[in-house]
Amino acid sequence: MDKKLRTILILAGILVLLCIGYAVAGLVFKEDTPEDTTAPETTAEEATFLQVTEDGLTKLSYTYDKDGDGVAEVWIYTRSEDGESWHWNDDPAVPLGSSAFYGYSSTLYGIQVVNTLQNVTEEQFSEYGLTAPARTVTFTDRVYGEQSFCIGAFNTYNSTYCAYRNGDKTTVYLLDGEFLTEFDRSVESLVYHDDLPAFKPEALTGFTMTQGDRTITLTRSIDGEGQAVWSRSVNGEAPVTVAADLVKSLELLVGDMDYLTCMSVKTTDFPAYGLDQNTTTMKVDYTKTVSGVTEAFTFTLTLGGTDKYGYYYANPKDTTLTMLLGGSVFSKVMTYDDTHVNEGDTPAETDTAGS
């Protein structure tokens, strides 16, 4: 017999024996039906750490002992009955942006549990920084009611925070730490700036600045050719037409009045920003079209000290806010050389902004 044919027959015989052996093994060692290990489908609420509906917050409080000295700051916010606005309980007049609280709803809903530790003893609580937790979040959802959780130590190994929920101190959750930056925000970061007026040169009709016993009044009018003309009066004296470069400064003033940030929401902080003494008061007169009708408005600011960049700390009238305000040209308007304000002269600038 051909050697190659013999090899083929031997291999075929081995294959037949293997098939017979597999069949016998299947009869002797009957294989069980594999268990279905597919996890049951869960709802969104069951899969999250907390039960929160979309935009469902009606109240939120955050307690944070930042320095670990047992003295915590407490921020409490309440939603209006119509759901359109939020208020800071300590001072409901402080304007808050509602969009931030929609973000809180999303953040609470999206908190991820990395691990769960069951049957935790009271002695173990100190290991997780939960004996005296630095942070406590309490909120009310319009569907699921009031809930709370306390946040303790940070685990640098997996970037999680230890927490327990709703007073249950037998279970510790390790939460993905990304959510916490949303809550480590003071009320200053929630202030809504758009309620404070912004000005355009064509809307400005005049303004008055008073510092000590010196009052400067600037008035805008339109000449026979339709051009804007500014006049300036010091302490009630006869007005004179201001020079072109001061007009440019006025335009800069208007364009530079940007509320950069809110520094404080408390009148008790005024001294820290130079708003309690040697202040400058600025009253702005402007027009605004409301429902098709052009109306005259007045907005008053108190200017205090400046930061290292020359930006002014300012307090809008009838508020407790301290805003950081762009506009280093304020000092130029106040200190401009009064002998060189006539149109056509070459003014001598004495800008002392930020000094």
pLDDT tens for each residue of 32-77: 433 333 333 333 333 468 999 888 999 999 999 887 787 888 999 9
pTM of structure: 0.68
Query: 185 and 209 share a domain?
Result: no
Q: Is residue 31 part of a domain?
A: no
Q: Is residue 37 part of a domain?
A: no
For the stretch 128-147, pLDDT in tens is 999 989 999 999 999 999 99
Last residue of a domain, one of 190, 224, 242: 190
Mean pLDDT of the chain: 78
Query: 109 and 206 share a domain?
Result: no
Query: 282 and 322 share a domain?
Result: yes
Q: Is residue 289 part of a domain?
A: yes
* Number of independent structural domains in the chain: 2
The CATH number assigned to the domain holding 325 equals 2.60.40
Query: 180 and 208 share a domain?
Result: no
| Structure confidence at residue 143 (pLDDT) | 93
Query: 210 and 301 share a domain?
Result: yes
Query: 185 and 85 share a domain?
Result: yes
Last residue of a domain, one of 190, 217, 244: 190
Query: 247 and 288 share a domain?
Result: yes
Give the structural domain span for 233.
196-340
| 143: number of Cβ within 10 Å | 9
Residue whose structure tokens are 């119509």: 82
Q: Is residue 40 part of a domain?
A: no
| Structure confidence at residue 198 (pLDDT) | 72
Query: 183 and 63 share a domain?
Result: yes
| Structure confidence at residue 338 (pLDDT) | 54
Q: Is residue 247 part of a domain?
A: yes
Q: Is residue 210 part of a domain?
A: yes
Q: What percent of the chain has pLDDT over 90?
A: 28
Q: Is residue 225 part of a domain?
A: yes
Last residue of a domain, one of 160, 190, 220: 190
Query: 177 and 206 share a domain?
Result: no
Query: 135 and 257 share a domain?
Result: no
- Span 100-129, average pLDDT: 89
